[in-house]
Chains A and B, each alone.
Chain A
């Protein structure tokens, strides 16, 4: 009864709901050629104990490999054969499944997903294949210095849960899990309560209302995070160091940041985009055409979807001494925190607006944003509301946010294996 009324409410208003309810948000786009659906379940890293590191990913990967349909193909292959895809991401609190496909077969793809959730394959063979896939994914992640730096910082950032542990586990921990472990984790944490379904694209082309029953295979109720009470290690440094097979050093810094839905949210959007632009101006040769993410080498990422939220600032040493560039960023942040900016803020706001709307250009990113804002209980037209909030940011807001959040960062240095720190 609660679920049904909550569903109707969500369908009408695209709104967030009471904590125990399933939330459905929809962003129909009649001009889209595809349909996308994100399913967010509270089965992420903070549901693991330290001994269970990697179990969340193992369960999700096994679901993608579960035989479905009459052909008994793995879910991933079966959806691909219908003209679609299914992927997942492991996050601090949640696992996010994303299905996408052509409208004519999307109902079938959702049905296969529902079937996999109803009877996931956690057999020895399935888990062995899942481990292989996860180890390869970790290997690829480990080749990117930015990922390594962020992973190190997250370990230090999330102190009361397992949320900062490696998202896809480690070969040594993954090797320990068996069918019983995966089945228990699935039973405990794959719940309808607090789940979010974010549907985007050409929804009008679907033959029915597939979402009301999509998670019916899962039990009611919410999963519980694992609370850890580990004493903080005494330390006089806020620097972390790792070595990897990379050609140049990278510097990655992390600051706490305001939560989505708070007054400081929009000011941090403005501040982080300004920081990225300024770092680029300091570190790079000016360019006429815009550099792609892969070409940039410096940047600022506001992870407003994380809880607690944070800002990552990174500098690729291939552009010169990364500590010098980063020192410039620190100086800018200090100035912003101690003095109110004079003059026109419109260019700073335009940067933030440009970056925000750029995240809305694919169905996958729109589904993600819809889910993130729903989880944060931000109702209705989240994009329009965010743009309005950015427009109303004042110089005082920027100063307040810079002073409150951008004080002492934790810094990760990712160095080439052969290089010494001193």
Chain B
């Protein structure tokens, strides 16, 4: 899940830290600031890259400004990408012709579109994206294409255990606001009932220059940034938070397969050290390839799969852990027992090894231009751009380097007790609505 990659984060410029590459990574590779006429930008130049990643991020509620239409932000961004602007070629078709990839992601409080294209196509695609999204227009054919795409996404999401679990947990953790609703509904009916005029109105409000965060990475440079005059400036939205439940809950639901889900409310993005400690805990316990809980479950219950992440949100962040393919008490004990054990300081040698591995995982997860553009976009719209892994300030890696066993244990004691719990039971197939 894209959000998972973002939540772990990374650091690229480590100038203030002990890592030798810090001295080799000049801050001149990165530029950031305000776009002429409104909006923010971050440009990360990679001289060795043959690929340009171009992202546009917007703060916008996934269920709409009146929370009436879950899925409307996905529908809107997809419709614009598929609509011809002033008889031109739709963004989606342009990227396809250039041999690139187009990514669209909707989250409860954010929606983004990103293109990854060969270097010589970067300027053209950037122009097309900003033209389309700074003056949004939705054609009938674009809207239909978006409905078709969103319907496929909805059908697929119903069979992604981690997505289903996250939606179920968020519905419990957040009692009101956009995070209470799934960013992509799991039924086609929920999407097709959204009228085109509602989508157009949403797009006009959400997609403006002032509300945009433009992130470029790879074979790009600041000279490519759009000049003034393209699109209306609009209004920048503040970070969009949702209402947190007053006490943890335990819920059971039907799913496509049995599963367990846990959520703990964590620190806000501005508490960088605490948020990084939560990232560390998630990596140490739940990384699907290396996490201690993931490994133990793989050994004891080969058909079960564990993953977890700290989702770095404006306020508050949320640590999620999910088990798919099983919901036994043994699995329950493995997850909760490991989380409880984090409340005691780790052995110093083991901690050093785990932190080194954590920093490496973060760097590895954010090496592609598209991944770099993603982290800049995510952390900027959530409200702490300097904390973006890879930001020239090196804030993220400084926070990681400052962790010690006692501090991590104190964060576990502060945040990791009494989780929200969702238990999924496999539903009979004929009962599914999708």
**A residues bordering B, Cβ < 8 Å?**
27-34, 80-85, 100-105, 202, 204-205, 207, 273, 285-290, 295, 347, 350-355, 357-358, 360-363, 383, 387
Check if A289 sits within 8 Å of B92, measured CB to CB: yes
Task: Tell me the residues in window 99-123 of chain B with beta carbons closer than 8 Å to chain A beta carbons.
Answer: 99-104, 116-119, 121
- Which residue of B21, B146, B152 is within 8 Å of A285 (Cβ)? B152
- Which residue of A27, A100, A288 is within 8 Å of B81 (Cβ)? A288
* Bound Cα distance A290, B46 (Å): 24
What are 7 A-B pairs with beta-carbon distances under 8 A? A30-B47, A30-B48, A31-B47, A32-B367, A285-B152, A289-B102, A361-B370
- Which residue of A34, A82, A289, A360 is within 8 Å of B363 (Cβ)? A34
* Bound Cα distance A351, B370 (Å): 18
Q: Within 8 Å CB of A352, what residues of B?
A: 99
In the complex, which residue of chain A has the Cβ closest to the Cβ of B14?
A33
Instruction: Verify if B353 is at the interface (C-beta below 8 Å from A).
Output: yes
B312 to chain A, nearest CB (A): 19
Q: Within 8 Å CB of A27, what residues of B?
A: 48
- Which residue of A205, A355, A363 is within 8 Å of B21 (Cβ)? A205
- Which residue of B47, B352, B368 is within 8 Å of A361 (Cβ)? B368
Q: Within 8 Å CB of A351, what residues of B?
A: 99
A357 and B50 in contact, given A202-B24, A286-B145, A288-B102 (Cβ under 8 angstroms): yes
Q: Within 8 Å CB of A81, what residues of B?
A: 352-353, 356-357
* Bound Cα distance A352, B148 (Å): 27
Q: Within 8 Å CB of B78, what residues of A?
A: 288-289
In the complex, which residue of chain B has the Cβ closest to the Cβ of A273?
B99
What DSSP secondary structure best describes chain A's contact surface?
A: mixed
- Which residue of A100, A101, A290, A353 is within 8 Å of B101 (Cβ)? A290
Q: Within 8 Å CB of B103, what residues of A?
A: 289-290
A135 to chain B, nearest CB (A): 12
Q: Within 8 Å CB of A101, what residues of B?
A: 360
* Bound Cα distance A198, B359 (Å): 24
Given A81-B353, A355-B99, 7 more A-B residue pairs with CB atoms under 8 Å apart are A34-B363, A83-B360, A101-B360, A287-B149, A289-B92, A353-B99, A360-B49
Q: Within 8 Å CB of B23, what residues of A?
A: 205
Check if A33 sits within 8 Å of B368, measured CB to CB: no
* Bound Cα distance A286, B25 (Å): 42
Check if A33 sits within 8 Å of B99, measured CB to CB: no
- Which residue of A80, A82, A286 is within 8 Å of B148 (Cβ)? A286
Check if B290 sits within 8 Å of A104, measured CB to CB: no
Instruction: Verify if B96 is at the interface (C-beta below 8 Å from A).
Output: yes
A207 to chain B, nearest CB (A): 8
Task: Tell me the residues in window 344-393 of chain B with beta carbons closer than 8 Å to chain A beta carbons.
Answer: 352-353, 356-357, 359-360, 363-364, 367-370
Contact pattern, B 28-45, Cβ under 8 Å of A = 1, otherwise 0: 010000000000000001
The 5 closest A-B pairs by CB, nearest first: A354-B99, A81-B353, A83-B356, A29-B48, A83-B360
Q: Within 8 Å CB of B156, what residues of A?
A: 295
Check if A31 sits within 8 Å of B20, measured CB to CB: no
- Which residue of B21, B82, B149, B357 is within 8 Å of A202 (Cβ)? B21
* Bound Cα distance A286, B119 (Å): 26
Check if B118 sits within 8 Å of A30, measured CB to CB: no
Instruction: Verify if B16 is at the interface (C-beta below 8 Å from A).
Output: no
Count chain B residues whose beta carbon lies closer than 8 angstroms to a beta carbon of A. 58
B302 to chain A, nearest CB (A): 9
* Bound Cα distance A78, B418 (Å): 35
Check if B152 sits within 8 Å of A354, measured CB to CB: no
* Bound Cα distance A390, B352 (Å): 48
Q: Within 8 Å CB of B12, what residues of A?
A: 31, 33
* Bound Cα distance A363, B371 (Å): 13
Check if B20 sits within 8 Å of A104, measured CB to CB: yes
Check if B50 sits within 8 Å of A360, measured CB to CB: yes
A289 and B356 in contact, given A104-B21, A350-B98, A351-B99 (Cβ under 8 angstroms): no
Instruction: Verify if B426 is at the interface (C-beta below 8 Å from A).
Output: no
Instruction: Verify if B11 is at the interface (C-beta below 8 Å from A).
Output: yes
Instruction: Verify if B340 is at the interface (C-beta below 8 Å from A).
Output: no
B126 to chain A, nearest CB (A): 16
Q: Within 8 Å CB of B25, what residues of A?
A: 30-31, 33, 202
Instruction: Verify if B18 is at the interface (C-beta below 8 Å from A).
Output: yes
A105 and B367 in contact, given A31-B29, A288-B102, A354-B117 (Cβ under 8 angstroms): no
A105 and B356 in contact, given A205-B24, A289-B149 (Cβ under 8 angstroms): yes
Q: Within 8 Å CB of B367, what residues of A?
A: 32-34, 361-363
- Which residue of A84, A354, A361 is within 8 Å of B98 (Cβ)? A354
Check if A33 sits within 8 Å of B357, measured CB to CB: no
* Bound Cα distance A358, B102 (Å): 13
- Which residue of B100, B116, B218, B363 is within 8 Å of A102 (Cβ)? B363
A124 to chain B, nearest CB (A): 22
Instruction: Verify if B330 is at the interface (C-beta below 8 Å from A).
Output: no
Instruction: Verify if B10 is at the interface (C-beta below 8 Å from A).
Output: yes
B192 to chain A, nearest CB (A): 15
Instruction: Verify if B19 is at the interface (C-beta below 8 Å from A).
Output: yes
Check if A287 sits within 8 Å of B97, measured CB to CB: no
Q: Within 8 Å CB of A85, what residues of B?
A: 360, 364
Which residue among B29, B92, B359, B364 has the maximum number of chain A CB atoms within 10 Å of its CB?
Answer: B364
Check if A29 sits within 8 Å of B117, measured CB to CB: no
Check if A288 sits within 8 Å of B149, measured CB to CB: yes
In the complex, which residue of chain A has the Cβ closest to the Cβ of B90?
A288
B40 to chain A, nearest CB (A): 22
- Which residue of A83, A273, A289, A353 is within 8 Å of B359 (Cβ)? A83
Q: Within 8 Å CB of A285, what residues of B?
A: 148, 152
Instruction: Verify if B173 is at the interface (C-beta below 8 Å from A).
Output: no
Check if B360 sits within 8 Å of A347, measured CB to CB: no
B369 to chain A, nearest CB (A): 6
* Bound Cα distance A102, B357 (Å): 10
* Bound Cα distance A28, B98 (Å): 27
Check if A103 sits within 8 Å of B360, measured CB to CB: no
Instruction: Verify if B51 is at the interface (C-beta below 8 Å from A).
Output: yes
A357 to chain B, nearest CB (A): 4
In the complex, which residue of chain B has the Cβ closest to the Cβ of A203?
B24
Q: Within 8 Å CB of A362, what residues of B?
A: 367-368
Q: Within 8 Å CB of A34, what residues of B?
A: 360, 363-364, 367
A336 to chain B, nearest CB (A): 19
A80 and B353 in contact, given A33-B10, A295-B156 (Cβ under 8 angstroms): yes
* Bound Cα distance A290, B149 (Å): 10
Q: Within 8 Å CB of B50, what residues of A?
A: 357, 360, 383, 387
Q: Within 8 Å CB of B99, what residues of A?
A: 273, 350-355
B373 to chain A, nearest CB (A): 12
* Bound Cα distance A204, B18 (Å): 16
